[in-house]
């Protein structure tokens, strides 16, 4: 009985939990409540994924209104996978949040943090679960508005500027998205994604559809921070509270990427935007620009959080590159990297947040010699860094394997070489951190620095462990990603 309502529960539980959380007066109570809610989410998400893997696509009618008139939650392998990622990251970061936030913000604000976090979680899960294009917009607004608050809660006033910038850009992105959906609605008279997919071929070569596609693409590209629309991201990630950065970096952009996949492949059908129009060349060029330019910027960045943020822009480039390759291997690489990058970047941001817990600001100079004082933190950073480079035995290798394979399949040797060559850039910027932390002498001012508390270290290491585990056992990640890719491409 309850199993059939899982898709609704996935979204409704955090939504209803948020106002309750706001009514709790003490940060510790709010934290406990948010943790309980966050921990039920992956249970539901995994149950949904198992249902999908077993019985195929789930279609859930909200209020039993029949689609396309009512709102439908439609979950196939691709979005079930995204639900697992988002909810799992949410569950892992919650134990970490307690100690980290107590250090970073006054007690009266913590309740608001947890409330906004629950709303953000609602929005992200809703965006992934729903099968209605307008409903996506509603959840997008919920997620965005709450994430502006999350970022603005950062420890210094630069967070306000960063949040404001993100607010402007995010609003433009959401507006473009809804304009795009409007055009499609005008042409087809429907907002249901599955229904859109059926009706669009009848009108597909008409100008309003082009315009709609253009608005959608640009709007979502702003949200997922595709180069050169990424400029909001480094500031937002650098100044948000550490735990918010880890959560958003691992989930928010990933959900936007999922929507891009959904529109490109399910709604328009892969052959249309990626084969018939001139998008692929531009798309691949922008992805490569993201990979190369953002990585180079990361190399010269002294603030470690900003460095990791630029690295995120570069890694998103790998994901979009796989989309542009428009093949099963490429899309598998894309989806698996979406998951893998969520793990690695989540782990790295949690670890850096743990360094910030002791040091305040985290710059390359500040962490000199710190490995001796925080051996576990930096051991995790080394493993996360190896994963960024794509060393075999880590998740990064699996992603890169599929992307290179997709390029080789196409016979695009130059692209294969560029993909691998750009990992050397990751070696340089992660290597800088490792070298500073392990091999440079520690300044006298770092004498009081010590390892973050266990409640933070354990979640960070759970993600670090996942980076290695899923690099060796790809049964869950790569196989599910391949199935999702086949589902999106419509191949058996």
Partner 1 sequence: MSGAATMLLAMAVPLAGALLIALSHGRPNQREAVTLVTAAVMFGLVASLVPEVMAGGRPATQPWTVLPGLDLQFVLEPLGMLFALVASFLWIVNSIYSIGYMRANQEPRQTSFYVFFALALSATLGIAFAGNLFTLFLFYEMLTLSTYPLVTHKRTDEALRAGRMYLLLLIGSSIVLFLPAIVWVSWAAGTTTFAPGGIVAGVLTPGETGWLLALFAFGIGKAAIMPMHRWLPAAMVAPTPVSALLHAVAVVKAGVFSIVKITVYVVGVDNLARVGAGDWLVYAAGTTVIVASLIALAQDNLKRRLAYSTVSQLSYVVLAAAIFTPVSIVAAALHIAAHAFGKITLFFAAGSIYTAAHKTEVSELDGIGRRMPWTMGAFAIGALSMIGVPPAAGFISKWYMAGAALAAGENFALAVIVLSTLLNAAYFVPIVYAAFLKPEPAGGPDHGEAPWPMVVALVATAAGTVLLFLLPNLPLSLARQLAGLP
CA distances from 417 to 3, 116, 292 (A): 47, 43, 12
Distance of CA 484 to the CA centre of its chain: 17
| Residue 60 φ/ψ, nearest 5 degrees | -115, 125
Name the residue nearer to partner 1 (CB basis): 181 or 381: 381
> Contact region for partner 1 (CB under 8 A) — 204-212, 292-300, 425-433, 454-462?
425-433
> Contact region for partner 1 (CB under 8 A) — 45-53, 145-153, 254-262, 415-423?
415-423
Identify which of 476, 324, 339, 488 has the alpha carbon closest to the alpha carbon of residue 410. 324
Based on the shown chain and the rule CB under 8 A, indicate whether residue 24 belongs to the binding site for partner 1.
no
Q: How far is the CB of 169 from partner 1 (least distance, A)?
A: 34
Question: Which stretches within 204-327 are classed as H helix?
Answer: 207-224, 232-239, 242-261, 271, 279-289, 295-300, 304-325
Rounded CA separation 137/173 (Å): 10
Based on the shown chain and the rule CB under 8 A, indicate whether residue 379 belongs to the binding site for partner 1.
no
Q: How far is the CB of 333 from partner 1 (least distance, A)?
A: 11
Per-residue contact track with partner 1, 97 to 136, x per CB under 8 A?
A: ----------------------------------------
Name the residue nearer to partner 1 (CB basis): 98 or 432: 432
Q: Is 277 helix (H, G, I), strand (E, B) or coil?
A: coil
Question: Which stretches within 158-241 are classed as H helix?
Answer: 158-188, 193-203, 207-224, 232-239
Based on the shown chain and the rule CB under 8 A, indicate whether residue 239 belongs to the binding site for partner 1.
no
Pick the binder of partner 1 from 85, 184, 308, 398 (CB under 8 A). Answer: 398
Q: How far is the CB of 477 from partner 1 (least distance, A)?
A: 10
Based on the shown chain and the rule CB under 8 A, indicate whether residue 465 belongs to the binding site for partner 1.
no
Helices and strands per DSSP (H, E), number in the chain: 20, 2
Identify which of 342, 351, 299 has the alpha carbon closest to the alpha carbon of residue 319. 342
Name the residue nearer to partner 1 (CB basis): 144 or 332: 332
Count of CB atoms situated within 10 Å of the CB of 380: 23
Name the residue nearer to partner 1 (CB basis): 342 or 471: 471
Based on the shown chain and the rule CB under 8 A, indicate whether residue 424 belongs to the binding site for partner 1.
yes
Name the residue nearer to partner 1 (CB basis): 3 or 424: 424
Rounded CA separation 167/159 (Å): 12
Pick the binder of partner 1 from 97, 129, 249, 389 (CB under 8 A). Answer: 389
Q: How far is the CB of 274 from partner 1 (least distance, A)?
A: 22
Name the residue nearer to partner 1 (CB basis): 71 or 331: 331
Collect contacts of 450-454 with beta carbons under 8 A, ≥24 apart: 450/358, 450/373, 450/374, 451/354, 451/358, 451/373, 451/374, 451/375, 451/376, 451/377, 452/99, 452/353, 452/354, 452/355, 452/357, 452/358, 452/374, 452/377, 453/99, 453/357
Rounded CA separation 348/340 (Å): 12
Would you say 125 and 73 are in contact if contact means Cβ atoms under 8 Å apart?
Answer: no
Based on the shown chain and the rule CB under 8 A, indicate whether residue 386 belongs to the binding site for partner 1.
yes
Based on the shown chain and the rule CB under 8 A, indicate whether residue 451 belongs to the binding site for partner 1.
no
Rounded CA separation 80/47 (Å): 9
Based on the shown chain and the rule CB under 8 A, indicate whether residue 391 belongs to the binding site for partner 1.
yes
Based on the shown chain and the rule CB under 8 A, indicate whether residue 390 belongs to the binding site for partner 1.
yes
Based on the shown chain and the rule CB under 8 A, indicate whether residue 472 belongs to the binding site for partner 1.
yes
Rounded CA separation 113/150 (Å): 6
Pick the binder of partner 1 from 263, 318, 401, 429 (CB under 8 A). Answer: 401
Based on the shown chain and the rule CB under 8 A, indicate whether residue 423 belongs to the binding site for partner 1.
yes
Based on the shown chain and the rule CB under 8 A, indicate whether residue 439 belongs to the binding site for partner 1.
yes
Based on the shown chain and the rule CB under 8 A, indicate whether residue 420 belongs to the binding site for partner 1.
yes
Q: How many residues bind partner 1 (CB under 8 A)?
A: 33
Residues that bind partner 1 (CB under 8 A): 386, 389-393, 398, 400-401, 404-405, 408-409, 413, 416-417, 420-421, 423-424, 427-428, 431, 435, 438-441, 471-474, 478
């Amino acid at each position: 009985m309850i199993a059939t309502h899982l898709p609704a529960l996935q979204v409704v539980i955090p939504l209803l939990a948020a106002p309750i959380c706001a009514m709790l007066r003490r940060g510790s109570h709010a934290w406990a409540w948010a943790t309980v809610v966050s921990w039920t989410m992956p249970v539901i998400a995994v149950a949904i994924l198992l249902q999908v893997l077993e019985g195929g696509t789930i279609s859930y009618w909200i209020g039993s209104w029949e689609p396309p008139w009512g709102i439908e939650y439609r979950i196939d392998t691709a979005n079930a996978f995204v639900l697992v990622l988002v909810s799992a990251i949410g569950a892992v970061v919650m134990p970490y949040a307690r100690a980290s936030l107590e250090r970073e913000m006054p007690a009266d604000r913590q309740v608001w943090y947890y409330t906004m976090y629950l709303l953000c979680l609602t929005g992200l899960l809703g965006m992934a679960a729903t099968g209605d294009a307008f409903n996506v917009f509603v959840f997008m607004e919920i997620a965005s508005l709450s994430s502006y608050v999350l970022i603005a809660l950062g420890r210094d006033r630069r967070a306000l500027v960063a949040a404001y910038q993100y607010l402007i850009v995010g609003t433009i992105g959401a507006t473009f998205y809804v304009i795009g959906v409007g055009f499609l609605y005008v042409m087809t008279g429907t907002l249901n994604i599955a229904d859109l997919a059926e009706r669009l071929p009848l009108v597909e070569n008409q100008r309003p559809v082009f315009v709609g596609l253009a608005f959608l693409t640009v709007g979502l590209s702003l949200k997922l921070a595709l180069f050169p629309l990424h400029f909001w991201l480094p500031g937002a990630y650098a100044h948000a509270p550490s735990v918010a950065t880890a959560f958003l970096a691992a989930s928010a952009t990933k959900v936007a990427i999922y929507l891009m996949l959904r529109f490109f492949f399910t709604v328009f059908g892969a052959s249309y935007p990626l084969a018939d129009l001139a998008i692929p060349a531009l798309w691949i060029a922008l992805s490569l620009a993201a990979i190369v330019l953002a990585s180079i910027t990361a190399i010269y960045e002294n603030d470690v959080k900003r460095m990791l943020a630029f690295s995120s822009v570069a890694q998103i480039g790998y994901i979009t590159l796989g989309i542009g390759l428009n093949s099963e291997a490429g899309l598998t690489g894309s989806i698996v990297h979406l998951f893998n990058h969520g793990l690695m970047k989540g782990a790295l941001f949690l670890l850096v947040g743990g360094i910030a817990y002791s040091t305040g600001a985290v710059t390359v100079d500040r962490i000199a010699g710190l490995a001796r004082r925080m051996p576990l933190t930096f051991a995790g950073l080394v493993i996360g860094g190896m994963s960024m480079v794509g060393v075999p035995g880590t998740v990064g290798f699996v992603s890169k394997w599929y992307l290179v394979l997709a390029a080789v399949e196409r016979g695009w040797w130059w692209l294969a070489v560029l993909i691998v060559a750009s990992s050397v850039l990751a070696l340089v910027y992660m290597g800088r951190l490792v070298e500073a932390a392990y091999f440079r002498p520690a300044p006298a001012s770092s004498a009081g620095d010590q390892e973050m508390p266990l409640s933070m270290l354990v979640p960070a290491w759970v993600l670090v462990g996942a980076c290695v585990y899923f690099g060796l056992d790809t049964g869950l990640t790569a196989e599910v990603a391949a199935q999702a890719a086949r589902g999106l491409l419509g191949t058996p």
